[in-house]
Amino acid sequence: MLIRMRVSFSRVLSCLCLTMAFLLTWTLLRHSRSYTQTCHHSEAFQDGLHALGDRVHRLLVTLGLSHFLCYGSLWGQLRLSRTLPWERDIEFCVLNEEMALKDEVFLERQFR
């Protein structure tokens, strides 16, 4: 005895959604990787980065330029009181109005 099922739009849509969910789950599980390598830099690297940031800060104070930490450097100071372990640089923001008053060649020589 063959049972006849009525095909309706909602049944087809439900079947399609279940099939897509299964395929998506299967694909994600099949291609999942476990990462063993971390993106943290060594303490020596971070100490050198802090020393560089301190030198830049002192130079900007000497030049009379208003500056402040921004982006990842600011987040690191707020969260950890140091740079974030995965950061490779320090970002300082300087007011554009003050930078426009300085000679670019003079500024470049100061940072050498």
* pLDDT tens figures, 9-61: 888 899 999 999 999 998 888 877 766 666 788 889 889 999 999 999 999 99
Burial 66-101 (b: 16+ CB within 10 A, else e): ebebeebbeebeeeeeebbeebeebebebeeeeeee
Residue 56: its pLDDT value, please?
92
Percent of all residues in the chain with a pLDDT value above 70, rounded to a whole number: 91
